[in-house]
Amino acid sequence: MTLKELTFSAWYIPSINQVYYEQKFLEKYRDRAINDIAYDPLLGWDYNLSTNRIRPPALPALQAVPNKRRILIIGDSFAHGNEVSDTEVFSYLLEQKIENVEVFTMGVGGYGVGQSTIKYLEYGRNYKPDLVIFAVHPPDFIRTALSFFSFSKPLLKVDNSVPEGYRTENSPVPSPQKELARIESGNFWKSRLYYLIVSRIAQIPVFRKTLIETYLAKTSAQVRKAIDLVKSDVESRGG
């Protein structure tokens, strides 16, 4: 029974699904340097940490250019433009097509919806964009419910008991070194019987239906809250 067969089929049980990504992380970094992760205690990881977390990194200034509208793109690797040059990413191409606009992206590979929102609230809104394009790829939905994906990450949770209507968990995010030690200190394969039993029970139709419905309801609420937080902030400035 492979790691993926033991865990990945139960994607609608975040605590089980997350084990798959933790073990992949362990396999990748057990015998190599871990310093290549651009660690950020708020977001887990980010790009251009030493500059402005934007692609391209030289733009823009906090102060908007007079008579120009600002468009900010947030999201995952599609928003960032992984595997293409600065002049091929769609934020750049969009800026070339529209007059009198500044377009830039704060997308980050591997981000879930909540993670993108946290980055926007902490950094993106400082640029006072007139329009925000929230680019969502379907896997971002699943990532939103996890506190570990490419690496350890924050969770944005709905919490109507506080004025903001949300809270963040797994924050500050543990360092890569601490997470590697934590995962390595456990013994996944000693627990394989547990994961096998849980994943098999989760496939029984009556349980599967209930588990998926519960998962979708909770995660949808997280996604709606995350998007509404961005929407409310932009609209509060007339955007």
Backbone angles phi, psi at 98, to 5 degrees: -120, 135
For residue 28, give the nearest of 5, 7, 11, 3 by alpha carbon. 3
pLDDT 10s digits, 68-113:
999 999 999 999 999 999 999 999 999 999 999 999 999 999 999 9
pLDDT at residue number 194: 85
62 secondary structure, DSSP code: S
Cα separation, 53 vs 61, in Å, equals 12
Instruction: Please give the structure tokens belonging to residue 25.
Output: 């992380």
Cα separation, 57 vs 104, in Å, equals 9
pLDDT at residue number 134: 97
pLDDT at residue number 187: 81
Cα separation, 181 vs 176, in Å, equals 9
**HSE of 40, CA atoms in CB hemisphere, 13 A:** 20
CB 144 within 8 A of CB 114: yes
Q: How far is CA 94 from CA 87, 100, 101, 215, in A?
A: 10, 11, 9, 36
pLDDT at residue number 191: 82
Cα separation, 77 vs 112, in Å, equals 10
pLDDT at residue number 1: 64
> Which ranges constitute the DSSP H helices of the chain?
3-7, 14-29, 77-80, 90-97, 113-122, 139-144, 176-185, 192-202, 205-236
Q: How far is CA 201 from CA 21, 206, 209, in A?
A: 21, 10, 12
What pTM, to 2 d.p., does this model score?
0.93
Count, residues in the chain: 239
Per-10-residue mean pLDDT, the chain, length 239: 77 90 91 81 94 82 86 96 92 93 95 97 95 94 94 95 94 95 86 85 93 96 97 95
Instruction: Please give the structure tokens belonging to residue 119.
Output: 């980055």
